[in-house]
Each structure stands twice: as C-alpha cells, then as structure tokens.
Structure 1
C-alpha cells in the first residue's frame, strides 16, 4: 500500500472526525509523515467540514494536533 498524500490524509481525518474520532491518532501520524514527505510545515483544514466549526472547536483541534507534532491552520472561506 502506498503512502497517502497530504490531501488523502486530510480527507481521512475528516472521515475520522465524523466517525466520532475513530483511529484519529493513526490518521494524524499518517498526515505528519505525508507533510514531511511533501516538505510542508502545516496542515490546512476547511472549517466548514469540521464537526465543531466554532472557535473553541478549532482551538481544541489545533491543540490536539500540536501535541502530536502537526501544526494546523484553517482555510478562509
């Protein structure tokens, strides 16, 4: 099985968030590896696709991902 791209890893995280955070840590690890392979510093998420699209939900997500070594930003809509 090939390694996922950043876009694929990001889509897997959206799916995991919708499935009550199922396997979220594994998806974050794959995203971190994909970011390193592609030479990117941070992951960009669309806030409209998040389950908790409010300030506290976004800050919680950023903190959780930061603890796992992934910097998160949100795209402007």
Structure 2
C-alpha cells in the first residue's frame, strides 16, 4: 500500500461515517513508518467537516493514534 492509497482509504472511511477508521489509521501509520514520512497531509476540501474545528478534531484523534496530521493550503 502506498501513502496515497492509505490517505484515500481514510477519506473513504470518513465519508462512510468513520467506518473502520481505526484500522485505516493503523495502516496509514505503518505506511508512513515504512516510507519514512513524518506527517500525513490531507486536503481539507475532501473532509466532511472542513472548517477549523473539524481539522482540529481530526488532528487530535489521529495524534492519539500516533499519526501527525497536516493540511494542504
């Protein structure tokens, strides 16, 4: 699995009421470790709640799972 595929799986999970989100986060974390990436970059326009509050909630949840999240401009 590539980093792009892992991030796309996260988007799909978020759009399906967070279905299997934790397993997708674990796969993203493993992919990031394998590829030596420190931060996963997401496009806020593709999120269900793209405002500041939604981004902060996402960052907090992912941080608890050990994944640093950033957002593209």
TM-score, with structure 2 as normaliser: 0.99
Root-mean-square deviation (Å): 0.3
| Deviations 1:16-36 (CA, angstroms, capped at 9, x unpaired) | 000000000000000000000
Which residue is 1:52 aligned to?
49
Tell me which structure has the larger Cα radius of gyration: 1
2:68 corresponds to 1:67: no
2:2 corresponds to 1:5: yes
- Find runs of 4+ consecutive structure 1 residues off by over 2 angstroms: none
Q: Which runs of 5+ in 2 are unaligned?
A: none
The separation in 1 between residues aligned to 2:63 and 2:70, in whole angstroms, is 11
Q: Which runs of 5+ in 1 are unaligned?
A: none
